[in-house]
Amino acid sequence: MQNENATIYDIASDAGVSIATVSRVLRGETNVSPATREKVQAAIDRHNYRPSSIARGMISKTTHSLGIVLPKLLNPHYAMIFSGAYEEARKMGYSMSLFPWSSIDTRAYDPATMLVERRLDGVIVCVEYLSPDHDGQVLAALRELKRFMPVVLIGCVPPWYDFPAVSNNDAAMMRQIVAYLVSLGHEKIAFIGGVQEDKDPLRRDEGYMEGLRGARLPYTGSYRVYGKGTAEAGETALGNMLDGLKPEYWPTAVIALNDLVAMGCQAAARKRGLDMPGQLSIVGCDDLFCAPYLCPPLTSINTHQQRTGARAVQLLISGEDKKETVEWELIERGSCARVIRDQ
Amino acid sequence: MQNENATIYDIASDAGVSIATVSRVLRGETNVSPATREKVQAAIDRHNYRPSSIARGMISKTTHSLGIVLPKLLNPHYAMIFSGAYEEARKMGYSMSLFPWSSIDTRAYDPATMLVERRLDGVIVCVEYLSPDHDGQVLAALRELKRFMPVVLIGCVPPWYDFPAVSNNDAAMMRQIVAYLVSLGHEKIAFIGGVQEDKDPLRRDEGYMEGLRGARLPYTGSYRVYGKGTAEAGETALGNMLDGLKPEYWPTAVIALNDLVAMGCQAAARKRGLDMPGQLSIVGCDDLFCAPYLCPPLTSINTHQQRTGARAVQLLISGEDKKETVEWELIERGSCARVIRDQ
DNA sequence: CTGAAAGCGCTTACAG
DNA sequence: CTGAAAGCGCTTACAG
């Protein structure tokens, strides 16, 4: 009924008790007489009183709020991770604030400070594919952060990162895709997107190479293009590849870093009059909501992003220091076709 | 160098000064002697000390954190709003926490409590299209929230909501789309998605009707379908419409509530062998990132979601109590064609 | 220019 | 079962 921002003193004096007693009924302690409890509760209701979680936080040293650092929210892939993490946090009574990747990456405005100053109970950091020379800098920033609060990583985490982490087995994922394409008769398989990773045996590059080796296919340098994970980058990359090769050397299948890149690849192929999937099969990754509505509907890898986010929150809260792997699933939709040998 | 969670007392004793002095250099006050400042700064650096924003918040009554309530984050439309709001907040030194729509909508776990207990400096609420009978309940919840903190609304806000708000002029948007389709020769124009709104002259329904009237086209009940704003809903809705009408009555153009619905409409039309845009033109809304990659590339309305989110933050922080409108832009991409009259 | 003291809104022993 | 008091980590007058 009354207005906002009553304090525990208002309630106490209104109910004619001490603030300690108000605090007791607030926290549902049992050692309060029914009569007193009722009086206090009435005062609370009357004032529409809500205890300040920040005053509580001063004492309990816990803020019940977590942070999550994302490279970009507009990529639905990260939105899904966020969504999973956020829902899990909410179930456990935590709120969740978002921070930009630059919090970790740069010292400019040093928003890592924001993370620390807010005394979060923990933070999840989604690491993107890192260029090797960037690696040390990021690792140092993460280690510093870790001195202030628990940190759990999501994504493609190098094995020498000493952090709890949740990720997919990217190399195994790539091997599966290559094997899948090989089973459809493909031999000229391109891989588009991602950074050059010369150190990490768990990553996609290595999985791609292993996949080829496993199928006794040669590695062709011109089939491997590095680049950013955007649709534009994918369109440019495949476009350049096609334009630079005689048609008889064109790949019959493309593995895209993610669905965005795959979308761009479709556009590039369409512009050059390629029939899909007849002349070009494409596999994406992340299984974005629009994958079923592309032309052709995109075969992709569902990486269970929401589960990934949720697990990260569980690790964060439980304090378990381990690296976990989340399963994935190949979703066949029709963007891949069996190769028809001429003759 | 040292470990985490030093307090102002640690710094003071380490530097041999009082906590008041530490506080002064922390806040960059000028009335500190250079020598003292240097000593204190050295101690701060040595401990890697970061003042607790929550202790500060106890005094200043401001937490420098905002909340935003979104119906769903997985819809990229809301992700864009969030992104714009979030970036603007960050520029002004605020962090931003996300809360689910159920915070407002239900009394179940009453997470509106969470909003209040965290003593946020303000909250942005994105309201979805509401069914009329839902309206009162939501309005009451919003009004209660407003007693505790500033509230700014985003979205399709009924004129009788007494809140500052940022939105598009939905009716005008619809009129423009209808006029655009009419200019291409369309007379059978369907409208798919959204709820039935019998009270609000600013909303889409009314704009659609006005657009038809303006072009002296009759309103055809079977061309207007209500429903949720998902791709599945769109596919079902258009599918049912087509299946229920003789082909000569099929609409030649569809206005979809949003791009998700439009995607579903494309799927429904494709399944029935319709040539697009030859036999069916489609206009979406929201201009999602995938719109250019659909088949055909989707003509849509860019509603400037990021600007919308940013403006909402500005209103929230400045405290201006006004309703604002954000411009929009029709993006032509090729999903609409001129009608070819037979004969 | 610097420090001692009060206070922000709570919780937590400690008495009674 | 209830209250007086100390304390969480800061900022802010108020003295000096």
CB contact under 8 A, A58 and B58: yes
pLDDT at B343 exceeding the cut of 50: no
Binary contact (B267, A293; C-beta < 8 A)? yes
Confidence bin at A158 (pLDDT 50/70/90) = confident
Q: What is the mean pLDDT of residues A285-295?
A: 96
Strand partners, A192: A225, A256
The closest CB to that of B118, out of A95, A267, A289, belongs to A95
User: Measured between alpha carbons, how far is B149 from B198 in angstroms, rounded to an integer?
Assistant: 31
Record: fold of B170-302: Rossmann fold (3.40.50)
Interface residue B65 vs chain A (CB under 8 A): yes
User: Do the domains B170-302 and B65-168+306-327 match in fold?
Assistant: yes
- Dihedral angle, C-alpha A317, A318, A319, A321, nearest 10 °: -120
Domain edges within chain B: 1-60, 65-168+306-327, 170-302
Partners of A167 in the beta sheet?
A325
Lowest mean pLDDT among B69-78, B144-153, B197-206: B197-206
Cβ contact, residue pair A289, B86, below 8 Å: no
Is residue A334 within a helix (H) or strand (E), and if so which, with residue range? none
Selected residue of A293, A298, A305, A313 to mutate for chain B interface (largest B Cβ count, 10 A): A293
As ranges, strand D nucleotides with an atom below 7 A of a protein CB are 1-5, 7-13
Share of chain A above pLDDT 90, in %: 57
pLDDT of the residue at A110: 55
Instruction: Show the 3-state SS of A285-328.
Output: CCCCCCHHHCCCCCEEEECCHHHHHHHHHHHHHHCCCCEEECCC
**Residue B33, Cβ neighbours under 10 Å: how many?**
9
What CATH class does A1-60 carry?
Answer: mainly alpha
Q: Which residue has the higher pLDDT, B195 or A301?
A: A301
In the predicted model, what is the mean pLDDT of residues B68-94? 88
DSSP state for residue A227 in the 8-state scheme: B
- Are the CB atoms for A235 and A268 separated by under 8 Å? yes
- How far is the alpha carbon of A116 from chain B, nearest alpha carbon, in Å? 7
Q: Read off the pLDDT of residues B286-320 as tens digits, 9 standing for 90 and up.
A: 999 999 999 999 999 999 999 999 999 999 999 99
Top-confidence range, A89-103, A152-166, A204-218, B179-193: B179-193
Q: What is the pLDDT of residue A118?
A: 80
- B83 close to A (CB below 8 A): yes
Report the C-alpha gap between B209 and B297 in whole angstroms: 27
Distance, CA of A336 to CA of A129 (rounded, Å)? 26
Mean pLDDT of A308-323: 95
B59 CA to C7 C1' distance (Å)? 8
| Residue B252 and residue B279 in contact, taking contact as beta carbons nearer than 8 Å | yes
Q: What is the mean pLDDT of chain A?
A: 88
Give me the half-sphere count of Cα atoms (radius 13 Å) on the Cβ side of residue A11: 29
Tokens at B144, concatenated = 């209660």
Q: Which nucleotide in the DNA or RNA is closest to residue A15, CA to C1'? A: D2
Q: What is the CATH number of domain B65-168+306-327?
A: 3.40.50.2300
Strand D lies under 7 A from the Cβ of residue A18: yes
- What is the rounded distance in angstroms from the CA atom of residue B208 to the CA atom of residue B310? 28
Question: Which residue's CA lies closest to nucleotide C5 at its C1' atom?
Answer: B20
**pLDDT confidence of A129, banded at 50, 70, 90?**
low
State the pLDDT at residue B4: 61
* pLDDT for residue A1 is more than 50: no
CA distances to A10, A15, B107 from A42, rounded to whole Å, are 12, 8, 19
Bond prior to A277 in cis (omega within 30° of 0): yes
Q: Which residues contact B332 (CB under 8 A, 6 or more apart)?
A: B299
Q: What is the pLDDT of residue A226?
A: 87
Q: Which one of A1, A3, A5, A50 makes the best mutation probe of the B interface by having the most chain B beta carbons within 10 Å?
A: A50
Q: Which residue has the tokens 């409208």?
A: B191
Q: Which of A157, A232, A139, A152 is nearest to A193 (CA)?
A: A232
Distance CA A34, CA A14 (A): 17
A98-107 confidence digits (pLDDT tens): 887 765 544 4
- Residue A174 pLDDT more than 60? yes
Instruction: Name the nearest CA neighbour of B73 among B96, B98, B108, B94.
Output: B98
B55 pLDDT more than 70: yes
**Cβ partners under 8 Å of residue B282, min gap 6:** B253, B254, B256, B262, B265, B266, B269, B276, B298, B299, B335, B336
Q: How far: B20 CA to D13 C1' (Å)?
A: 12
Size of interface A-B (CB pairs under 8 A): 129
Mutating which of A113, A259, A289 best tests the B interface, going by the most B Cβ atoms within 10 A?
A289
